[in-house]
Amino acid sequence: MSRLNGKKQDYPGIKAVYNSQAGYNTSDTLSDLSRLKLNSKDMELKTIPIPHREGLNLILGQSHFIKTVEDLHEAIFNAVPGAKFGLAFCEASDACLIRHSGTDPELVQLAQDSAVVIGAGHSFIVLLRDIYPINVLGAICAVPEVCHIFCATANPVEVIVAQTEQGRGILGVVDGFLPKGVESEADIAKRKAFLRQIGYKA
C-alpha cells in the first residue's frame, strides 16, 4: 500500500508515502525496492556480417511505418536522378514482411538478402552503385519516418544485434577496420588532394 496526498493506493512491491508539500518519504521505499522482482528475460548477442560487394556503398538505419519504403525510394531518386539503388525494410508488426524497392534489380535482391540476415525490426538497408552515401544521406535523414542511421559506408560491416524471444534489435555496427596510426603531414596533404580530385572540395 502507499499514500498519495493522504490516500492509500495499491502499488505492488513498492511502498511510498507522498505528501504534496514534503515530497517522498524514502524510509518506506528502500526496503520494498530491494524486494522488487523485475521480469528479466534472456538475451543473446550476435555479430552478423553484411555480405560485402566491391563498388557498392550501404546505408543502414532504423525507421518506422510501412510508408518508409516508398518515401526512401523517392528521397534517393529525387536527390540523385537516375540513381542505381536497392533498399529493404524489416516490417516489425502485423505481417512482418521485408518490404523492398529500388531501381536496380540486383541491388534490390542484395538488399532483401541482407535484411533477411539482419532481421531486426524496423531496420532498413540501402545499397548504392556509382554514388556515395554523402549524395543521398541528407535526403534520407529528412524522411520523417527515419529514426536513426547506424552507418553509411563502402567498408565491410558487422551488425551487432540483440536477440530475445520477441525479436531482434540493432545495438551498433563494426564499420571497417582498426586504425593503424595517426596521420602525418604527408597523409593530411594526400587527404586534402584526394577530396579536391574527386570534386568534394574546391
17 with 86, same domain: the answer is: no
Tell me: pLDDT of 135 over 60: yes
Is 156 a member of any domain? yes
Quick one: 78 and 166 in the same domain? yes
Predicted confidence band of residue 51 (pLDDT cuts 50, 70, 90): confident
Residue 167 has pLDDT above 90, yes or no: yes
Q: Structural domain of residue 70, as residue ranges?
A: 44-175
CA gyration radius for the chain?
Answer: 24
d(CA 125, CA 153): 11
Q: How far is CA 56 from CA 113, 128, 148, 165, in A?
A: 15, 6, 21, 34
In this structure, are 67 and 143 located in the same domain? yes
Tell me, what's the pLDDT at 67? 94
Q: Is the pLDDT of residue 201 over 80?
A: yes
Please tell me whether residues 107 and 28 are part of one structural domain: no
pLDDT of residue 18: 43
Average pLDDT for 45-50? 95
Query: Is there a single domain that holds both residue 80 and residue 170?
Result: yes
Cβ partners under 8 Å of residue 101, min gap 6: 69, 70, 72, 73, 86, 87, 108
Q: Indicate if the pLDDT at residue 97 is higher than 80.
A: yes
Looking at the predicted structure, is the pLDDT value of residue 36 above 60?
no
Kindly state the average pLDDT of the residues 172-196: 96
- Say if residue 38's pLDDT is above 80: no
Round to whole Å and give the CA distance between 74 and 144.
13
Same domain as 101, residue 57: yes
Give the mean pLDDT of 174-190: 96
pLDDT given for residue 171 in this prediction = 97
Per-residue confidence band for 41, with pLDDT thresholds at 50, 70 and 90: confident
Residue 187 lies in a domain: no
Mean residue pLDDT of the chain comes to 86
Question: Are residues 30 and 70 located together in one domain of the fold?
Answer: no
What pLDDT score was predicted for residue 202?
A: 85
Mean pLDDT of 95-101: 96
pLDDT at 31: 52
Sorting pLDDT into bands at 50, 70 and 90, what band is 34?
low
Q: Considering the chain, what percentage of its residues have pLDDT values greater than 90?
A: 75
Rounded to a whole number of angstroms, the distance between the first and last alpha carbons of the chain is 70
